[in-house]
Amino acid sequence: AQTVTQSQPEMSVQEAETVTLSCTYDTSESDYYLFWYKQPPSRQMILVIRQEAYKQQNATENRFSVNFQKAAKSFSLKISDSQLGDAAMYFCACTSGTYKYIFGTGTRLKVLA
Amino acid sequence: NAGVTQTPKFQVLKTGQSMTLQCAQDMNHEYMSWYRQDPGMGLRLIHYSVGAGITDQGEVPNGYNVSRSTTEDFPLRLLSAAPSQTSVYFCASRALLAGGPHEQYFGPGTRLTVT
């Protein structure tokens, strides 16, 4: 069975600084996909970044990048130049070919002005 | 495109009442799913569908029914609401394409309270 663990219930970062959110996962599948979703107070789930397990290169999307360590089953999200609008819940998720997505319990990010 | 829409946005039910949460998508996605979100537990999969007429159970299916008569719609039925079903419900969809992308697109959610 797949599991996704986010061990940081809450994190804080000063505006303009960098923060890293942790995620570890476990799957027996060789082909899988990893995601970070952002949930602001509006409740809408927004895709931040995705990573295909077969790709060695870490995904980046503007200020967001991941550190994908396949052997360690780690998938952390780095947010650079943090902005007030980055304050939200962040969920890590994993899916393989079984159509089932497993989400972590989330990390609440606070951005301090 | 409206994307994924859900109605209602808020609902209060009494224990034992039934209701249907509506979900529709206009992206012609084959895959649709329902999640519930509870504090400290992330999102948990209730049911999913990979096409019209095909549904399957997720992690927490008890107390919920689904059907998929069209590609666009995937309603979630609560047959006899219980306080344990108080939660925020999300519908999501994605295309089923070989090689991906595999990310889901989410609706705005329904906050359900059962008293």
Mean pLDDT score of chain A, rounded to an integer? Answer: 94
A101 — contact with chain B (CB < 8 Å)?
yes
Residue of A nearest to B36 (CA): A103
pLDDT in the model for residue A48: 97
Length reported for chain A? 113
pLDDT in the model for residue B82: 97
Residue of B nearest to A106 (CA): B42
Residue B35 DSSP one-character state: E
CB-CB neighbors (< 8 A) of B34 in chain A: none
Which of A1, A2, A5 minimizes the C-alpha distance to A92?
A5
The one-digit pLDDT tens for each residue of chain B (115 residues) are: 779 999 999 999 999 999 999 999 999 999 999 999 998 888 999 999 999 999 999 999 999 999 999 999 999 999 999 999 999 999 999 988 776 667 899 999 999 999 9
Q: How far is B14 from chain A (nearest CA, A)?
A: 24
A104 — contact with chain B (CB < 8 Å)?
yes
d(CA A60, CA A66): 7
Cβ distance of A100 and B108 shorter than 8 Å? no
Taking 3-state DSSP, the helix, strand and coil percentages for chain A, each rounded to the nearest 5, stand at 5, 50, 45
From residue A113, how far is each of A40, A84, A85 by CA, in Å? 17, 7, 11
pLDDT band at A80 (very low <50, low <70, confident <90, very high): very high
Which of A87, A90, A69 minimizes the C-alpha distance to A6?
A90
d(CA A85, CA A24): 25
Q: What DSSP letter does each residue of A20-60 carry, written as one string?
A: EE--EEE-S-SS-EEEEEEE-TT---EEEEEEETT--SPPE
Enter the tokens of residue B6: 């859900």
Residue of A nearest to B37 (CA): A105
pLDDT in the model for residue B102: 76
| B10, B37, B43, B55, best to mutate vs chain A, most A CBs in 10 Å | B43
B104 — contact with chain A (CB < 8 Å)?
yes
Mean pLDDT, residues A50-68 taken together: 93
Helix (H, G, I), strand (E, B) or coil at B83: helix
d(CA A2, CA A24): 11
Choose among B100, B101, B104: nearest Cβ to A101.
B104
pLDDT in tens, B15-35: 999 999 999 999 999 999 999
Enter the tokens of residue A112: 């301090």
Helix (H, G, I), strand (E, B) or coil at A10: strand
d(CA A63, CA A80): 5
